[in-house]
A and B are shown apart, each in its own frame.
Chain A
Amino acid sequence: AQTVTQSQPEMSVQEAETVTLSCTYDTSESDYYLFWYKQPPSRQMILVIRQEAYKQQNATENRFSVNFQKAAKSFSLKISDSQLGDAAMYFCAYRYYGGATNKLIFGTGTLLAVQP
């Protein structure tokens, strides 16, 4: 069974600084997607960034980038130039590419605080 592990329950960063959130996963599949979702106090889950496992190049979306290490089954999120609005719960998630559905498997989350 696939699992996703986030070992940092809480993280803190100063405004304008850089922070990295960690995620590891376990799967026997070779084709899959990995995601980072942000859940602010409003509760709505928002997609931050996604990575296809077959792509060697790390995904980047503005201030957000990932370090995808397929052999190590590691998928970390780097937030550069942190802003107050980045404060939220961040979830790492996995989806098998060939499955019957687009079911996501989530980690337990990392609560990110941004200090002014």
Chain B
Amino acid sequence: DAGVTQSPTHLIKTRGQQVTLRCSPKSGHDTVSWYQQALGQGPQFIFQYYEEEERQRGNFPDRFSGHQFPNYSSELNVNALLLGDSALYLCASSLTGGTGELFFGEGSRLTVL
């Protein structure tokens, strides 16, 4: 049973560029959440997707956008990258109507130079 998989694991971008991060949820899960974890901090909720719609959004600017596909996989896009966007981006999946337990991937480490 494959868990949550994320790609790429590491990437380096320069300021002003755009990045796309990808997530495949755990088998059987239909909901995907994205979190940003800055160095030495706890994860911060970016947004959650269910039925291809953004269900809730945290305190992040519009430069952060997402998408969920019919197979429940998801993408996180960040435009006009800033140095402060350097962080570990975690994807978590869950099953709506279940216990709500989140299963996390290993994250994508983004460095903005």
Chains A and B bind each other: yes
B102 within 8 Å of A (CB atoms): yes
Contacts of B106 in A (CB 8 A): 42-44
Nearest residue, chain B, Cβ from A105: B45
Q: Which residue of A lies closest to B104 (CB)?
A: A45
Interface size counted on chain A using CB atoms at 8 A? 23
Query: Within 8 Å of chain B (Cβ to Cβ): is A104?
Result: yes
Alpha-carbon separation in the docked complex, A33 to B105 (Å): 21
Instruction: Tell me what chain B mostly uses at the interface: helix, strand, loop, or mixed.
Output: strand
Query: Please, how many angstroms separate the alpha-carbon atoms of A50 and B101 in the complex?
Result: 10
B16 to chain A, nearest CB (A): 27
Give CA–CA (A111, B6) in the complex, Å.
24
B interface residue numbers (CB < 8 A to A): 31, 33, 35, 40-45, 48, 50, 55-56, 58, 88, 90, 92, 94, 100-102, 104-107, 109
Residues of A within 8 A of B (CB): 4, 33, 42-47, 50, 91, 93, 95, 99-109
